[in-house]
Chains A and B, each alone.
Chain A
Amino acid sequence: MNNQKLLEVQDLVIEFTTDKGKVRAVDGISFSLNNSETLGIVGESGCGKTVTALSLLKLIPSPPGKIIQGHILYQGKDIVSKSESAMRHFRGKEISMIFQEPMTSLNPVFTIGNQMIDVIRQHTHASKKEAKERAIKMLERIRIPNPERRIDEYPHQMSGGMRQRIMIAMALSCNPKILVADEPTTALDVTVQAQVMAQISELQKKFNTAVILVTHDLGVIAETCTNVLVMYCGKIVERADVSTLFESPRHPYTRGLLTSIPRIREKKLEKLPTIEGTVPDLLHLPVGCRYADRCERVRDHCRLEEPPLEKKDDKTEVACFYPY
């Protein structure tokens, strides 16, 4: 069982039914995650990062969304077929998720202690008192000053950074194997972003958690991730370990994203550096490569056939006929 992956996503397709037709937000992606690995997912807005992240907990809003095809194997067992009540024991216990909006992600009318205790008691047999002690210990871990007092405060009495750290503490309070973080720092002040990321990395080491980090910030990826998926229009266009990706990106899209990295590090842009041209509408996808219209290496062949994600060398997989 040594070679069994912690998480394995196979050929996942997720569709949304909209007024204008069916939209494939995620179109046949496959990836895997090892114990205590940190996997980054980057890509432009709307490419399906959040949908991918939500699907790992079967939290796709349905309707309109639906997993059409594919498998999500957690420790070898498929969760796509799991019932909603089975998923309840799974969420927060095996895989936890934190969201982009710390200001609204916590319930405004309950104390943070109340919410943390709820999560702990949902997944353990702890008494109220034990759960509270455990929650206080988690707050100490993330170095919230005066945890015994602050645990009785409400979310609105805390800053955005602190709320996001509390979300992280909550997410890790039941020792999940995987933490899915969907742009955990995008909504925060630049000064707080680094602090929150450092906290995630620190707790990840302490608890031996694997992390899936969805972000716009390539700098964050470079600092924290071991492997990276680059997504474009619901597909994975490149997969590589972090140093390979930054040293020798193969896909023209990845290369386009990376060329402007030094500049984003200085200016701390919230959006990815822009590449000329627009992302095709998911309702009217071209037959061939989805990046063709914006690609500098495009040839006729690219517009006729879609390139599959293939191993180009032993470190990288690329979905391109003419990679760098």
Chain B
Amino acid sequence: MDTFIYSLRKFFQSIPLIFGVTLISFVLMVYFGPDKTYDLLGKNPTQQQIEEVHHQLGYDQPFLTRYFIFFKEIITFDFGYSDSTGEKVSSIFARTIPVSLAVQLPILISGNIISIILALIAAYFRGKMIDKSVMFVAVIGMSVSYLIIVILFQIIFCSSYGLNIFPVQGWEVESFTSYLKYVTVPVLASVFLSIGYNTRFYRAVIVEEITKDHVRTARAFGTHPLKLLFKNILKNSLIPIMTRIIITLPFIIIAGSIVLESYFSIPGIGLVLYDAILTGDLPIIKAAVTWTAMIYVLSLILTDIMYTVVDPRVTLK
């Protein structure tokens, strides 16, 4: 109950933040964003055509009026129709977000589990050969370009030079088997990359914990190393680890991964957003900005709540 009231209060306190973010983004879009008109009319439009389109898109309204319309859209969560395709924004999101999540969630979950395990092992054997090998792989994951990794994985898994067991790209998902067929290689490539960054960060967190007195105490009572790592140390390291994971949620849910989705032709939200930004499809951008801000605030509240779950010394105030 306390948690519920706290969350509600936090959310209401964050409303100005949401409006601030959306206002700033809106100013940027209106004054610096691309103009959709020429995208719709092609080359050499007449002055009259231009004015007509401007009127249709609402570009001829004064800024305040336009922002007021946006304001109303934010409150009603109804962002109208895409300027490019005429499809309802909400149905575009409903169609593409699940696809992105179907790729991103396995990456997030397996990437973090693997990184945490590697980091625990590296930290436990810090300074030894195992640690150095793990960190070597992590640095490779960090420093090699995404493109190269993607191509490498495509060659290894999807070409006749390699195993040739998965399609190079595409997304014709009808069943769980076909889902696995299309999702495996993008997930493997991204997990490899995320391991690089995550393992380094998590190792640093865990090394700090491992030198604490309570770990020495646990060792002095004969605690098994696995229990020491996965119980005593992990729970203490969970706050920075969780913060990092939860803060990436809004970007995963709304932004997906533009690079990944374009290399593998995955029809997710990332590609939609990419096109919308390039062509100035305002309804979609507005919806994305609003949803991102909203989910960001929710993630922050979630981190606060998780703190209290993990650490008894933290209370929600």
Partner of A59, one of B219, B232, B311: B219
Find residues 77-130 in chain A having any chain B CB closer than 8 Å to their own CB. Answer: 87-93, 96-97, 99, 101, 104-111, 118-119, 122-123
Q: How many residues of A contact B (CB 8 A)?
A: 31
Q: With a 10 A CB-CB cut-off, give which of B219, B221, B313 has the most chain A CB atoms.
A: B221
Query: Considering the chains assembled together, what is the distance between the CA atoms of A92 and B224 in angstroms?
Result: 12
Contacts of B224 in A (CB 8 A): 88, 122
Find residues 147-164 in chain A having any chain B CB closer than 8 Å to their own CB. Answer: 154, 156
Partner of B223, one of A57, A97, A122: A122
Find residues 189-216 in chain B having any chain A CB closer than 8 Å to their own CB. Answer: 212-214, 216
Cβ of B16 under 8 Å from chain A: no
- Mostly, the A contact residues are mixed
B313/A107 in contact, CB under 8 A? no
A91/B222 in contact, CB under 8 A? yes
Please judge, given known A-B contacts A99-B216, A101-B213, A104-B212, whether A109 and B221 are in contact too, CB under 8 Å: no
Query: Considering the chains assembled together, what is the distance between the CA atoms of A90 and B127 in angstroms?
Result: 27
Contacts of B219 in A (CB 8 A): 59, 91
Please judge, given known A-B contacts A59-B216, A107-B214, whether A91 and B312 are in contact too, CB under 8 Å: no
Shortest A17–chain B CB gap in Å is 12
Cβ of B236 under 8 Å from chain A: yes
Please judge, given known A-B contacts A63-B127, A154-B313, whether A105 and B214 are in contact too, CB under 8 Å: yes
Query: Considering the chains assembled together, what is the distance between the CA atoms of A204 and B22 in angstroms?
Result: 68
Find residues 113-132 in chain B having any chain A CB closer than 8 Å to their own CB. Answer: 127
Contacts of A170 in B (CB 8 A): 221
Query: Considering the chains assembled together, what is the distance between the CA atoms of A87 and B213 in angstroms?
Result: 19
Partner of A156, one of B213, B216, B236, B313: B313
Shortest A258–chain B CB gap in Å is 32
Shortest B57–chain A CB gap in Å is 55
Task: Report the nearest A residue to B233, measured CB to CB.
Answer: A107
Contacts of A106 in B (CB 8 A): 214, 217
Q: B63-99, CB under 8 A of A: which get 1 and which 0? A: 0000000000000000000000000000000000000
A123/B222 in contact, CB under 8 A? yes
Partner of A99, one of B217, B222, B235: B217
Query: Considering the chains assembled together, what is the distance between the CA atoms of A93 and B224 in angstroms?
Result: 14
Partner of A154, one of B220, B222, B236, B312: B312
Q: How many residues of B contact A (CB 8 A)?
A: 21
Contacts of B152 in A (CB 8 A): none
Find residues 218-258 in chain B having any chain A CB closer than 8 Å to their own CB. Answer: 218-224, 227, 232, 235-236
Task: Report the nearest B residue to A64, measured CB to CB.
Answer: B127
Query: Considering the chains assembled together, what is the distance between the CA atoms of A154 and B312 in angstroms?
Result: 7
Shortest A108–chain B CB gap in Å is 6
- Mostly, the B contact residues are helix
Please judge, given known A-B contacts A104-B214, A109-B235, whether A156 and B222 are in contact too, CB under 8 Å: no
Find residues 180-204 in chain A having any chain B CB closer than 8 Å to their own CB. Answer: none
Cβ of B310 under 8 Å from chain A: yes
Shortest B17–chain A CB gap in Å is 31
Find residues 43-78 in chain A having any chain B CB closer than 8 Å to their own CB. Answer: 57, 59, 63
Contacts of A108 in B (CB 8 A): 214, 236, 311-313
Find residues 264-314 in chain B having any chain A CB closer than 8 Å to their own CB. Answer: 310-313
Task: Report the nearest B residue to A94, measured CB to CB.
Answer: B222
Query: Considering the chains assembled together, what is the distance between the CA atoms of A106 and B214 in angstroms?
Result: 5
Task: Report the nearest A residue to B235, measured CB to CB.
Answer: A109
Partner of A87, one of B222, B227, B232, B311: B222
A96/B221 in contact, CB under 8 A? yes
B236/A109 in contact, CB under 8 A? yes
A122/B222 in contact, CB under 8 A? yes
A96/B220 in contact, CB under 8 A? yes
Shortest B130–chain A CB gap in Å is 14
Query: Considering the chains assembled together, what is the distance between the CA atoms of A170 and B236 in angstroms?
Result: 21
Shortest A152–chain B CB gap in Å is 10
Query: Considering the chains assembled together, what is the distance between the CA atoms of A119 and B213 in angstroms?
Result: 16
Closest 3 CB pairs of A and B: A92-B221, A91-B222, A104-B213
- Pick 26 A–B contacts, CB within 8 A, sort by A: A59-B220, A63-B127, A87-B222, A88-B223, A88-B224, A92-B221, A96-B220, A99-B217, A104-B212, A105-B214, A105-B216, A105-B217, A107-B217, A107-B218, A107-B232, A107-B236, A108-B236, A108-B311, A108-B312, A109-B236, A109-B310, A119-B221, A122-B223, A122-B224, A154-B312, A156-B312
Where the two chains meet, the residues of B that have a C-beta atom closer than 8 Å to any C-beta of A are 127, 212-214, 216-224, 227, 232, 235-236, 310-313
Known: A59-B220, A88-B223, A107-B232. 5 other contacts (CB 8 A): A59-B216, A105-B213, A118-B221, A122-B224, A154-B313
